[in-house]
């Protein structure tokens, strides 16, 4: 579709992909230090600005500046498909009793009305959506921090109401009558005459 092929190298074999590993090392030592990112979009903006400077430096391996070769490379590339490929992560899961789904170490609340049912979770770089039977039951902004719980206040209120209604349904009514036997019935059953010595 994009005119590219994937070639997998053996694990733990950096020599098989030295050019890629060297570029990663260059990014880690020249671009990453001292920077903070609020999310993927911020990372891409900062990287684009940095690449504008980095690509004007002479590159020993190709014998020129990358900025001088970009037009030749673009001319050799095929066009992108008319419809952008879907980017993100998608899965189906049964919603647990705690009414949260986990994505990349973060927990996102889902409306508790679908607890126990199969839900579809879709996460893209901007948001997380959860549907059940084609109906939207949760939408959250994607969180890029780690180990966070993202709760929609409406989901928390619905869960509290659901807990209250279940507790009330389980509580026995106060006017329940329980049968009580006379002690003389037990005496007769055991053959005791009822006289205590």
Domains in the chain: boundaries: 14-76, 89-169
- Tokens at 108, concatenated: 């996102």
- Tokens at 25, concatenated: 């090392």
Is the model more confident about 19 or about 149?
Answer: 149
Going by C-alpha positions, the residue among 76, 112, 71, 77 that lies closest to residue 95 is 112
Question: pTM of whole model > 0.75?
Answer: no
Query: Distance of CA 163 to CAs 35, 38, 149, 152, 166, Å?
Result: 45, 36, 20, 17, 5
Residue 2's pLDDT is what? 61
Q: Quick check: 122 and 102 in contact, CB under 8 A?
A: no
pLDDT in tens, 42-56: 999 999 999 999 899
Composition of the chain by helix, strand, coil, percent to 5: 35, 20, 45
Q: Which residues contact 147 (CB under 8 A, 6 or more apart)?
A: 105, 106
pLDDT in tens, 12-44: 777 777 777 778 888 899 999 999 988 888 999
Residue 106's pLDDT is what? 96
Cα atoms found within 13 Å of the Cα of residue 26, Cβ hemisphere only: 12
């Amino acid at each position: 579709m994009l005119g590219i092929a994937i070639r997998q190298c053996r694990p733990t074999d950096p020599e098989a992909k030295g050019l890629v590993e060297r570029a990663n090392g260059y990014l880690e030592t020249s671009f990453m230090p001292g920077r903070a990112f609020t999310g993927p979009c911020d990372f891409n903006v900062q990287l684009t600005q940095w690449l504008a400077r980095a690509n004007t430096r002479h590159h020993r391996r190709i014998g020129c500046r990358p900025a001088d070769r970009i037009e030749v490379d673009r001319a050799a590339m095929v066009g992108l498909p008319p419809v952008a490929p879907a980017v993100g992560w998608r899965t189906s899961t049964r919603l647990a009793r705690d009414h949260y789904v986990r994505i990349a170490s973060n927990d996102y609340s889902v409306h508790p009305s679908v607890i126990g049912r199969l839900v579809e979770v879709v996460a893209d770089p901007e948001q997380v959506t959860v549907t059940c039977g084609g109906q939207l039951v949760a939408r959250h902004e994607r969180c890029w921090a780690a180990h966070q719980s993202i709760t929609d206040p409406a989901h928390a209120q619905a869960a509290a109401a659901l807990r209250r209604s279940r507790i009330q349904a389980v509580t026995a009514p106060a006017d329940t009558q329980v049968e009580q036997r006379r002690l003389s019935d037990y005496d007769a059953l055991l053959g005791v005459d009822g006289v205590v010595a």
